[in-house]
Chains A and B, each alone.
Chain A
Amino acid sequence: MPERLVRAGVIPLVDMAVLVAAAEQGFARREGISLQLIRDVSWSNIRDRLAFRQFDVAHMLSPMPVASQLGLGSNPYPCFTPFALGRGGNAITLSLDLYQEMRALAGLDDSEGALTKGEALKQVIERRRSAGKKPLVFAMTYPFSPHNYEFRFWLAAAGINPDSDVTMTVVPPSLTVDALETRAIDGFCANAPWNMIAVEKGVGRIVATKAEIWPAAPEKVLGVRPEWAQQNPETLARLIVALDRAARWCDDPRNHSTLADMLSGPAYVGVPADLILRLLSGNLTIDPDGKTKRIERYLTFHNEAANFPWLSQALWIYSQMVRWGQVSYDETSLSRVTAAFRPDIYREVLRSSETPVPVISSKVEGEGLELGVIPTTRGDLLLSPQMFMDGRSFDPDGIPGYVNSFPIRIV
């Protein structure tokens, strides 16, 4: 059988791992696929080059297919995802000066959780306002990104209005550390490895991770060009099989050192392997004084149905787009939102594999402190607690009520 070439656009971040493992560890080849990874520098380019048929599939931010189906952003070429590339990796890092100010003002002893740190930030913001100082500037990586929604979620949970109390801006991930160092920004939310690099360079302090804001939040996904999928259904199915195996391989701690070595190469993330290895194990350096913190499930590539594109998570993304005024709520949009995530394709391809495939496509998100139970093709699957940091749960059938329950919102 001749090998089928599949061109995938990628951004150099640790969560490109599943694609790299599929290409480098033979998982793609075993399915008759020659997986070509093409590095790019911006999410706008990833989106456009997929539309321009330079890529067949791409490493994408989970809100990008949703935005594309809703016609948001420039060049909204509609694409979809049948496979999530994992969870976690994001964190919020503030400048050291700002963190010291929060410590002094709120009497933090560093052991506090993300919400308390957010409340300390609120005190600093109020003091700065009464002193007539300029608003703090916070950066994320793209308007339709988990980073944007997570940063805003954290700020708003602490009573800070991201649109009037601070200035939100975009800085590409690779430039965040420099921007923090030159004081162009006071904090940022980005994926691994940038938070830890800021800390180890002595310019930033990690104050919250994705796992503390919402552990189940979808992060990157495999974006697929619909025409390509239509013309190559067999290749898409084989690619999903290869990625499923690669994702399982990435989650196995025995493979982490090989994975870290691969990712550290200049063609991929291009930072030291030992730093990537610490990120993979969830041991984060959070303060330049060397303080570390172990984050359970900081990066999950396969376990707990991490690759399953939950419709309820696409709808949660939509709820945040509505909350922050990127789009207005409209029932006729719901079918476009759910066209962005395709659990049906995932299920069809992997139903007889050894991976437990959820038999439901949607669930109430963030419910309860206890383990959740999901019915799958391999029996019940236990999910770790997936609480949102504000304790609210998200019922995908009640988006307007959910959005209106937030005291801080644009609509």
Chain B
Amino acid sequence: MQTEQRPLRVAIIEENSIRAAILLDGLREAGIINVDVIETTANMLRRLSTFDPDVVIIGIENPSRDVLEQMFQVSKLVSRPVAMFVDHSDRAMIQAAVEAGVSAYVVDGLRKERVMAIVDMAISRFSAFDRLQRELVEARNELASRKVIERAKAILIRTRQLSEEEAYALLRQTAMNEKRKLVDIAQSVVTAASLLEK
């Protein structure tokens, strides 16, 4: 995923300076020099958004993981792959992480030789998962839109004694006249009908 426009940037969230140094060494040896080490939670969000990393590395025992979660929630645009590492782990856990389709990758032990592998893994899994999520959301929206349109048609058929084709044509014509999406017009019909019925 390394873009051609700029070299890979990595943020490390780590309070322990020894661990941060191991990570930094591992990244440097892999040729990554744009690294920001964030030691404190104060100003973490501001520093992350200023630095705009491609990957965030964080220890699994760092309580600031929930702060990252909020950041990704508030601004979906800044959602980034997160690489986690744990000191004691087992093969089954790593396997399960992969099967669960997570963007994060968990590795046993912190050695500088492993750092770049974690970063690569996090990026590739994140891209795959992110694409899957987007497709899922699109599919769901599509289904939801179709349902709303069906309901709006049913309301028009019932209340205005139209045929199904006429009801659909009326919705489409209104959408064109008002320069709005068909599904938005359908939603207005459904909402209005529910207000009138209650």
Contact = CB atoms under 8 A, between A and B. Distances in A.
A267 interface: no
A303 to B, nearest CB: 31
B41 A48 contact: no
Given A53-B92, A143-B69, A170-B69, A74 B104 contact: yes
A287 B13 CA distance: 35
A43 B65 CA distance: 8
A332 interface: yes
Nearest to B126: A74
A400 interface: yes
A141 interface: yes
B41 A74 contact: no
A143 B65 CA distance: 12
A73 B104 CA distance: 13
A75 B79 CA distance: 12
A74 B72 contact: yes
Contacts of A179: 41-42
B181 to A, nearest CB: 14
A179 B69 CA distance: 18
Given A54-B93, A172-B66, A401 B82 contact: no
B51 to A, nearest CB: 18
A103 B100 CA distance: 51
Interface string B123-134: 000000000010
A76 to B, nearest CB: 8
A42 B41 contact: no
A74 B63 contact: no
Interface stretch (B16-24, B25-33, B139-147): B139-147
A71 B133 contact: yes
A308 to B, nearest CB: 28
B34 interface: no
A1 interface: no
Nearest to B137: A71
What does DSSP make chain A's interface, helix, strand, loop or mixed?
loop
A99 interface: no
A73 B63 contact: no
Given A172-B63, A332-B140, A400-B191, A74 B103 contact: yes
A384 interface: no
Interface in B147-167: 147
A330 interface: yes
Given A48-B102, A331-B144, A41 B69 contact: no
B169 interface: no
Interface in B37-74: 41-42, 45, 60-74
B16 to A, nearest CB: 14
Given A48-B102, A171-B41, A42 B66 contact: yes
B5 interface: no
Contact of A142 (B62, B69, B74, B100): B69
A74 to B, nearest CB: 6
A141 B63 CA distance: 10
Contacts of A406: none
Contacts of B194: 400-401
B64 A172 contact: yes
A77 B140 contact: no
A142 B72 CA distance: 11
A326 interface: yes
Contacts of A401: 194, 198
Given A174-B63, A401-B194, A330 B144 contact: yes
A42 B65 contact: yes
B106 interface: yes
Contacts of A41: 61-63, 65
Given A51-B100, A330-B144, A331-B147, A169 B66 contact: no
A131 interface: no
B176 interface: no
A53 to B, nearest CB: 4
Contacts of B133: 71
Contacts of A143: 69-70, 73-74
Contacts of B96: 51-53
A71 B73 CA distance: 12
B147 A332 contact: yes
B136 interface: yes
Given A48-B104, A73-B73, A75-B103, A43 B144 contact: no
Interface string A27-65: 000000000000001111100100111100000000000
Interface string A169-181: 1111011000100
Contacts of B106: 52
B97 interface: yes
A230 interface: no
A182 interface: yes
For the complex of A and B, the 7 pairs showing the least CB-CB separation, nearest first, are A172-B63, A170-B70, A143-B73, A44-B65, A75-B102, A42-B65, A41-B63
15 contacts: A42-B66, A43-B69, A44-B68, A48-B84, A51-B100, A51-B102, A52-B97, A73-B69, A74-B79, A75-B100, A143-B69, A169-B70, A170-B69, A174-B63, A179-B41
Interface of A: 41-45, 48, 51-54, 71-75, 77, 141-143, 169-172, 174-175, 179, 182, 184, 326, 330-332, 400-401
Given A71-B137, A143-B69, 18 more contacts: A41-B63, A43-B69, A44-B65, A48-B84, A48-B102, A71-B133, A71-B136, A74-B72, A74-B103, A74-B104, A141-B66, A142-B70, A169-B70, A170-B67, A172-B67, A175-B63, A332-B140, A400-B191
